[in-house]
Homo-oligomer: A and B are copies of this chain.
């Protein structure tokens, strides 16, 4: 399964692509930043981000697009552009019938390091280790895009969009999901990997 992770942003939108093979065997395919020129007007910036994301989706044909969830409480100066970039990623996927999943940064950190409050260097090291890379991926701020892709692979059902997800979980998966949700609620509680 090809998973494309997206760390949304209007100026820099991270894209990370991995392959999830035999149980929990994850391999690195691609990482990049899709950019828009801050000097352009907002409509042209959104067009640049959309076109960049469509290019990545058409090149790598992911089975799922995993996007970092945006919260209204975030930095007021950037949150709307970030939300719009996330919306464009969802649109680009939906137009091609590709399922979309949303994961919070805490969920990514928890899934990858076992600590929902893990710092960036720890996340980068673990992303590299999980993907069998000799060094943390560059550019450094693209690691978040790989992280949200890895998070989707490591979570049991991957929090696909839509209300029917829970019904498709096995009993074990449901217990896992409940435990993860509880842990996420407690933010940062350590979990055995």
Contacts and interface: CB of A to CB of B under 8 A. Distances in A.
Majority DSSP secondary structure for residues of A touching B: helix
A152 to B, nearest CB: 14
Nearest to A51: B95
Contact of A41 (B73, B87, B100): B100
A118 B30 CA distance: 53
A85 B50 CA distance: 14
Contact of A84 (B42, B86, B93): B86
Give the number of copies in the complex.
2
Interface centre among A44, A80, A102 (most CB of B within 10 A): A80
Nearest to A89: B43
Interface string A160-175: 1111000000000000
Interface in A72-105: 72-73, 76-77, 79-80, 83-88, 90-91, 93-95, 100, 102
A47 interface: yes
A70 interface: yes
Contacts of A87: 46, 83-85, 87-88
A1 B77 CA distance: 34
A100 B84 CA distance: 16
A63 to B, nearest CB: 15
8 contacts: A43-B91, A43-B93, A43-B161, A47-B95, A72-B77, A73-B76, A79-B80, A83-B83
